[in-house]
Amino acid sequence: MGEPLLNINDLKTYFFLAEGVVKAVDGVHLKINRGEVLGLVGESGCGKSTVALSIMKLIRYPGRIVGGEIWFEGENLLDKSEGEMRKIRGGKISMVFQNPTSSMNPVFTVGSQIAEAIELHQDAQKHEIEEKVVEILGKVGIPSPRQRMKDYPHEYSGGMLQRAMIAMALSCNAKLLIADEPTTNLDVTIQAQILELMKTLRKEFDASILLIGHDLGVISELCDRVAVMYAGKVIEHADLTTIFKEAKHPYTQALLESIPRLDIETEWLHVIPGTVPRLIDPPPGCRFHPRCEYAKGICSKEDPPLTEVGQLHSVACFLYSSIEKLNHQHR
Amino acid sequence: MGGRLEGKSGKKSENVYKPSKASQFFIVWRKLRRSKLAVFGTGIVLFMSLVALLAPIIIPFSPEFGGTPLLPPSTAHIFGTDALGRDMFSLVIYGARISLYVGVGAVSIELLIGITVGMIAGYSGGKIDELLMRIADVIFSLPTLMLLIVAVSMFAVRGIQTIMLIMGILGWPWIARMVRSEFLSLRETTFVEAARSIGASKWRIILRHILPNALSTIIVLVTVEIPWYIFYEATLSFLGFGDPSSPSWGILMQRGYLHFSSQGWWMITFPGLAIFFTSLGFNLFGDGLRDALDVTTRGR
Amino acid sequence: MSEKLLEVIDLRKYFPILGGVLLRQVAAIHAVDGVRFTVKLGETFGLVGESGCGKTTLARLILRLIEPTAGVVRYSGRDIFKLSEKEMQKLRLEMAMIFQNPYGALNPRMTIADSVGEPLDVHGLAKGAEKEMRIMELVEKVGLAPFHIYRYPHEFSGGEKQRIGIARALAGNPKLLVADEPVSSLDVSVRAQILNLLKRLQKEFGFTYLYISHDLSTVKHMCNRVAVMYLGKLVELGPVKDVYKSPLHPYTEALMSAIPIPGRRREKRIILKGTVPTPIDPPPGCRFNPRCQFSEPICAKDDPKFIEVKKGHFVACHLRK
């Protein structure tokens, strides 16, 4: 296995607003190994997109990375200058966003936009670039790539445009692909196509993927390991089967029980009472404690650190061992 | 199978948080207060309005008072006197009354016509919309100032009311267009569709759903149009097509220019500054008001 | 034998595409192209399909928010398209809609009380103190505190706004509730709350639901029977257990295998080629033919009929008879 490709240590990204400080990411620890797919799961507002933007150092005013380290290939990205980051963005680390139609410039052809990315990161002649564009569009499954590269984004369907985005992201030998909800806006059958594509490409390019989303099913299709985020922190971190079969954090468990499943039949879904806290004023101690059915005294006073409880399984909860017993009674 | 929801559960109305209409006004006021520029603008607007209203009471000298002509600003005459010895300060104060009257009057007329037309065009769509917009286009393409000059020259009597009326009649297409586009976009919202699914009539939807949401745009439009019309009237008067019997700021500037532009700088400068400050005030007020009327921002 | 609340017979809606200088009709979008199904009293009927299949247009036709090009919609035996304005008005009390986007579904300048009470106003059902009490009751029924009814929508969260939308839908004591993707815009943990609420309300008041969604897991959880829609037509219809366990239509099969299941990786997934074609002037034959892996020559020529293959299980396919 060796060194992890990406190692995020105690990342803190805050947004300084007139009303107060929004602690969007408040001490996040993540690791991605080479060739691995890590899923980052959480509801809206939990900070997962902010983590992605922090890795790319794309956080703008009024936000700022205020602490922590992001180690990529042995170097701390937070020490790098903007010029150095620009070389990395789109090259070694590239990103695919949720809405492909707004990620592409509507007045340039798809081919020219991919070519631009290649131009910025690689030394190649014009005709070489064109060949690369055709090749990469073909790899992502765009039919007749030589013709289609001359088309404009609006002439592509949603699914095809997302493929083109993935092509652009991989065109410069990315080592790490960050995909922020890449299939959320797509139909189920198109989503299946894109996920299959990502599986194939991952093997072919030997790239690591950070897959961000809220759909646990999508995460299951692609990911080796999963990190669950809540209110700016990672509260559980384990490999795929462990997360689903042996989740130890009450939030993870509750989340799994609250979604309707094709394979499990229940009459009533488990409801997590209350709402996601506002990050300007997070609750003291464990951020989940106001909504947690097992909360005890210590939970409102101290913030549980991410503790290793098994092989590659970490949980941020003081009560995980006692909860396990309670859970077995539940079923 | 099935219960009904009756209103007889005996709940008391006192258990409800019910903000009064007055407190809603205060929320808007508090939000307005947040921006210093907006407060400044509001101040000017209020000040000018008061001046205009109280003009006959507060002027130190009667506008007809004939004293020593062409006196520069002094302690007795803060803005100096004009060619006929009239106190400039009193004239400028009185001018506020005229100029604001024209501005507000013209805007009222154009709003009346413009909102009605825009509302009908925006909601009805189809042929009615086409027809109304074509009429608006025609009027829109006419050169207002030219027309004003022609119109004013045609009428034997040059009344300030006529000027106001013509400006309003020529100005409604722009308002209609704004209102229409607001209506078009609001018409497609989900809450309008929800209202239709409940069975609300066309008029109920227009008056209860669309208009209140278009209102904030309209109010801001108003605040920006008023100084525009003051300016228009001033231009007209400056060119000599105004109504000399109603001494607005524009008339004052014209006199100042015609008679003694080099010998009496105060005769043209002070009315000019008055127009400038009023425009500035209304624009800043309008900007602040737009933000303050936004229901989605919190008033703290 | 359950009573039929809603009968949709050969419903069609074509949107004309105008072109040329004189704006003549050059083509048409076949949004809904001959749909036939019934909804029984008290059941939850699911309608699934991907974007562009016409399910939202179908919902609007059923509520008569738009007029059909052809076809009949019978509500309690009466053809709603033949009713007068007045009669339709009365009927609107019995049919209510829950919208997808809770943020847009409430007028931002109206208080919650005004929004929820609007059906009462429009139909003159209650006034003054009685109206206020009914509004408070409704708001409580959906799980919100009546204390806040004079607040504005932006002061509430997405889940709470959706509850308010449901309260408004209940105000007229409806019999049929059309829910158009009611939880798609909500956070995962909030969805459970709303879905449970809808079930609870049905148990208490005996509503009939027409549940429209693209999320197959939710539809399986909520519905008794389900219809699958593709490009304006129904391709399969039947009890949820049957359709999900043994789908008959190739499209349904592909849909079922495309749904990702949490915790598991699917081995044998049917991945469809291509994308959904446009519903503009569709070619003859089966609509699904271009993407179907079982395609035969007949599929390009004849449009398959929607027939009952097993008890209560309908399918439109030449090869599954």
Range with the lowest mean pLDDT among A288-297, B27-36, C167-176, C242-251?
B27-36
Of residues C59 and B72, the one with the higher pLDDT is: C59
Residue B20: the pLDDT is 67
Per-residue confidence band for C311, with pLDDT thresholds at 50, 70 and 90: confident
User: How far lies C200's CA from each of A171, A254, B193, in Å?
Assistant: 52, 20, 26
- Give pLDDT, residue B23: 67
Using 50 as the pLDDT threshold, list the residues of chain A that sit under it.
1, 326-331
**Given the DSSP bridges, would you call strands A208-213 and A176-180 parallel, antiparallel or unpaired?**
parallel
How confident is the model over C160-203, as pLDDT tens digits? 999 999 999 999 999 999 999 999 888 888 899 999 999 999 99
Indicate yes or no: CB of C96 within 8 angstroms of CB of B200.
no
Within its chain, how far is the Cα of A246 from the centroid? 22
For residues B190, B192, B196, B197, the Cα torsion angle rounded to the nearest 10 degrees is: 30
Residue with more model confidence, C86 or C267:
C86
Q: What is the mean pLDDT of chain C?
A: 89
CA distance B13 to C134: 11
Instruction: Quickly state the pLDDT bin for B90 (edges 50, 70, 90).
Output: confident
Which of A193-207, B10-24, B104-118, B232-246 shows the lowest mean pLDDT across its residues? B10-24
| Contact criterion met (CB < 8 Å) for C129 and B13 | yes
Pair of tokens at residue B11: 């709940």
Q: Tell me if chain C has a CB within 8 Å of the CB of B261.
A: no
Chain C residues in contact with B11 (beta carbon < 8 A): 133, 136-137, 146
Is residue B68 pLDDT above 60, yes or no? yes
The residues with which A210 forms a beta bridge, in sequence order, are: A38, A178
Concatenate the DSSP letters of all residues of A153-195 into one string.
GGGS-HHHHHHHHHHHHHTT--SEEEEESTTTTS-HHHHHHHH
Using 50, 70 and 90 to split pLDDT, how confident is the model at B8?
very low
Do residue A261 and residue C262 have CB atoms under 8 angstroms apart? yes
Preceding peptide of A62 cis, ω within 30°? yes
Per-domain boundaries in chain C:
4-94+174-315
> In this structure, what are the phi and psi dihedrals at residue C153, rounded to the nearest 5 degrees?
-55, -40
What's residue B300's pLDDT? Answer: 38
Tell me which chains share at least 3 CB pairs under 8 Å with chain A: C
Total residues belonging to chain B: 300
> Judged by CB atoms within 8 Å, which residues 8-47 of C form the interface with A?
none
pLDDT(B120) > 90: no
Counted across chains A and C, CB pairs separated by less than 8 A come out at 118
The yes-or-no verdict on residue B13 having pLDDT over 80 is: no
With an 8 Å Cβ cutoff, is C126 touching chain B? yes
3-state helix/strand/coil string of C164-218:
HHHHHHHCCCCCEEEEECCCCCCCHHHHHHHHHHHHHHHHHHCCEEEEEECCHHH
Report yes or no: B53 and B100 within 8 Å, Cβ to Cβ. Answer: no
The reply to whether CATH 1.20.140.10 applies to domain C4-94+174-315 is no
C255 pLDDT above the threshold of 60: yes
Mean pLDDT of B43-60: 85
How far apart are the CA of C129 and the nearest CA of chain B, in angstroms?
Answer: 8
Alpha helix stretches (DSSP H) within B126-210: 126-141, 144-154, 160-187, 190-198, 202-204
pLDDT band, residue B260 (cuts 50/70/90): low
What is the length of chain A?
331
A154-163, B118-127, B154-163: the lowest-pLDDT one: B154-163
Contact at CB, C217 and A220, closer than 8 angstroms:
no
Q: Which two tokens stand for residue A217?
A: 């099913």
Report the distance separating Cα C22 and Cα C193, nearest Å: 53
Chain B residues closer than 8 Å to C208 by CB: none
**In the predicted structure, residue C28 carries a pLDDT above the cut 50:** yes
Is C133 an interface residue toward B (CB < 8 Å)?
yes
Taking the Cβ of residue B6 and every Cβ of chain C, the question of whether any pair is shorter than 8 Å is answered with: yes
Which residues of A lie closer than 8 Å to C, measured between beta carbons?
A: 43-44, 157, 159-160, 187-193, 195-196, 214-221, 240-241, 243-245, 254-256, 258-263, 266-272, 275-276
CA–CA dist A136, A152 (Å, integer): 17
Q: Would the pTM of this model clear 0.90, i.e. be above it?
A: no
CA–CA separation, B127 and A169 (whole Å): 49
> A160, C245 in Cβ contact below 8 A?
no
Contact C97 B194 (CB under 8 A): yes
